[in-house]
Structure formats: C-alpha cells, structure tokens
C-alpha cells in the first residue's frame, strides 16, 4: 500500500503522524511511505531520518495526497485540505466529527473512508488511540492554567502551590478519565488543592489509592459541580463521551458567579467543549474572557509538545496502521471490532451513531458497511 504523511497545517500544529520507527515498520512489511518534506521538523525529526528509515520525500502536500492510497494525519483535515481528498481514499487521523459538521459533510460528499483515532474502542471501553494524547493534554492543562492564573494574563494572581501561611490554589477537575487523572496528578505535583469529580465511582476509588487520598474525589452531580466551581481558582473540564459531543456541565450563569480571575481549561474542546461558553481557540490566541473569568480552549493542546506527542501517538497507532496497510481497511475492520468502531464515513455514508446525533446527519449501521 502507498501510505502518505502530509505536513500538518493547523495553527501551530507541530506534530507529525508517523516517526521513522513507524516508517521502517511499514517498509519492512512491503509498503511504500511518502512523507512531505519538512513534515517532521516541528517534532525534531529531520527529512534525513525519514529517508534512512525507507520513506520517499515529496515536495508538496498535493503530491502526497495525490500519490497515497491511505493518508495518515494527526489532526482533522482543515478547509484548505478538503480539495485534496480523493474518492475511495482511506484517511486515518483524529477527526472529532461531532463538533465539525462541515468536515463530516465533506468526507461524505467526497466518499472518503475515514477512520477516527478517537473512536477506536476496545471491548473494555478503553480508547487506545485517544489515550496517549489525553495523557498529554491532561498533563498540560494545569501548566497552561497556572500560566493563565498570572495577573498579567488576566488571572487571579494565585500561585498553584502557595507559600507558608497562604492557601494553595484550588483546582477542580471534572472527569476522572485519562486526561482528568493526569491533570489531577500534575496539579497535585504543583502543590494545588485538587478535587476530582466523576460519575464513575470506580474511577474515584482508583484515584483514592493512586494519590494516597491527597486528591479529594467527589461523586459528580449538578450541585457538586456548582459548589466546587464556585470555590475554584482553576477548573479543568475533562469529560468525554466516545464519538459524541461533550456534555455542557458549566453554564454561563455559573461562570458569572465564579471568583474574578478564575481560569477554565476545556480539554474536551475537540468534542465541542464541556463548558457552555467554550469555543475553540489556537496557540496564537489561546484565551478569552467570559464575565470575569479566563477560558483556555486550544483544540490541539498536545501540539505544544510535539516531540513527546508524536512518539506517543505513533506508539499507539502503529499496530492498527500496519493492519490497515497489510490487509486493506475492509479486512482489517472485519478482523478487529475495535478498529471497526473507528470507521466514521465510507462511500458517501456516515457510519457513527453518536456523530450522527451530534451533527444531525443520518447514519447507516456500521455492521452493514463492515459486512
């Protein structure tokens, strides 16, 4: 199979979809890998490293998209890339279609076989291709939140760890999944007073032992969220429903009652965000104000640490990528139900029910396409 890796063009997106290790693995299986020149430089991976691993360099994104049968990306195609997609092409990347009706329509119109990293789901419910970037985003959230808390950046002027005789910052993390647990861990390491909310009591029990009861775990409810958010200096939204739009858990009215200069970081922004006032921002202009609070809603947070993120992503995606290249997408998804759950569009049809509900486009049964 001809596998193409174009350079990412989303705002300050420095990740690349494949490392030289991944290139070598595909080439050893008899496939051709075409990489756009300088695609890896943002992740500190030079063209020479790709070539040494067996890749062929192409000058432009048009060349890569025009040559490859399967396109491997990090982020969803942006508008400038729509015209490059060809009917029958396989696209393997993060898509987050529940928050992106225009892209959903384009994938359907152009009859792309689109497999989304974030909806590949194990029988246990785990999301193996979302997990590593959730870890990264979770680790970043307290860091960017602490930066936004600085008075010069519009925040309350509160130090996360405090000093002797002064209360530590209060950090509230909504959602105890991969990103939430990592956010709690980093916030705790920065010396904050951390509260973790979730409806899954097993996750809260796990956090109890993981953090030796130093993170306060509370069963999530509307009242619990309201009480905790009102007291918070920093709120981190880390709620995810696989493939679906994130639930809105913090209303505009609640934000209006928060402490002046409080900060809200929405990790769920790729799925539409879990705060009512959230809208996607960029690394160039990451924050905006709502009432007297600061929102941070960058939609590609892991792109800020591309070296770490790129290697973590390839570690997770490579086994699935090899299966897709070796078998073709049809046989690969028939053999692996987890991979089949990643199929979002094919041959002009939407195949993901949660996305269908979110964007208002009728879907077909996944089993019909797989069969």
Tokens encoding 220: 């999530």
96 is catalytic: yes
Please tell me which residue in 193, 198, 266, 270 is annotated as part of the active site. Answer: 270
Closest residue by Cα to residue 366 from 334, 347, 348, 340 = 340
266 is catalytic: no
Residues 6+ apart with CB under 8 A from 222: none
Residue 215: phi and psi, rounded to 5, are -105, 130
CA distances for 25 relative to 18, 33, 248, angstroms: 11, 10, 42
Please tell me which residue in 31, 96, 346, 349 is annotated as part of the active site. Answer: 96
What burial letters (b/e) apply to 230-259, b meaning 16+ CB within 10 Å?
Answer: eebbbbbbbbbebbbbbebbbbeebbeebb
Nearest-10 crossing angle of helices 20-28, 306-335: 30
Instruction: Report how far residue 60's alpha carbon sits from residue 63's, in angstroms, rounded to the nearest whole number.
Output: 5
DSSP secondary structure code for residue 298 in this structure: B
CA distances for 131 relative to 134, 137, 193, angstroms: 5, 10, 25
Q: List, by residue number, the catalytic residues.
A: 96, 270
């Amino acid at each position: 199979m001809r596998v193409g890796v174009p350079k990412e063009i989303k705002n300050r997106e420095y990740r690349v979809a494949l490392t030289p290790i991944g290139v070598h693995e595909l080439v050893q299986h008899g496939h051709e890998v075409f990489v756009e020149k300088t695609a890896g430089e943002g992740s500190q991976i030079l063209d020479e490293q790709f070539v040494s691993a067996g890749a062929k360099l192409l000058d432009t994104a048009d060349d890569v998209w025009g040559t490859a049968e399967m396109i491997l990306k990090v982020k969803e195609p942006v508008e400038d890339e729509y015209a490059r997609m060809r009917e029958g092409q396989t696209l393997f990347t993060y898509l987050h279609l529940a928050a992106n009706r225009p892209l959903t329509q384009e994938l359907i119109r152009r009859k792309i076989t689109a497999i989304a990293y974030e909806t590949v789901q194990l029988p246990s419910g785990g999301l193996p291709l979302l997990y590593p970037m959730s870890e990264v985003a979770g680790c970043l959230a307290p860091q960017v939140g602490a930066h936004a808390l600085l008075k010069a950046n519009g925040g309350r002027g509160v130090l996360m760890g405090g000093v002797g005789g002064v209360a530590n910052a209060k950090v509230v993390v909504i959602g105890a999944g991969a990103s939430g647990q990592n956010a709690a861990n980093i916030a705790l390491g920065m010396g904050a007073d951390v509260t973790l909310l979730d409806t899954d009591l097993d996750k809260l029990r796990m956090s109890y032992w993981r953090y030796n009861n130093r993170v306060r775990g509370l069963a999530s409810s509307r009242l619990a969220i309201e009480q905790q958010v009102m007291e918070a200096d920093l709120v981190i939204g880390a709620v995810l429903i696989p493939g679906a739009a994130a639930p809105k858990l913090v209303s505009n009215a609640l934000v209006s009652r928060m402490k002046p200069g409080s900060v809200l970081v929405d990790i769920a922004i790729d799925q539409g965000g879990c705060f009512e006032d959230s809208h996607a921002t960029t690394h160039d202009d990451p924050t905006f104000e709502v009432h007297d609070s600061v929102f941070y809603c960058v939609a590609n947070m892991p792109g800020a640490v591309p070296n770490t993120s790129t290697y973590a992503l390839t570690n997770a995606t490579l086994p699935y990528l090899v299966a897709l290249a070796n078998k073709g997408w049809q046989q690969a998804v028939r053999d692996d139900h987890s991979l089949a759950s990643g199929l979002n569009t094919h041959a002009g049809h939407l195949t993901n029910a949660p996305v269908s509900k979110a964007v208002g486009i009728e879907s077909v049964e996944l089993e019909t396409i797989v069969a």
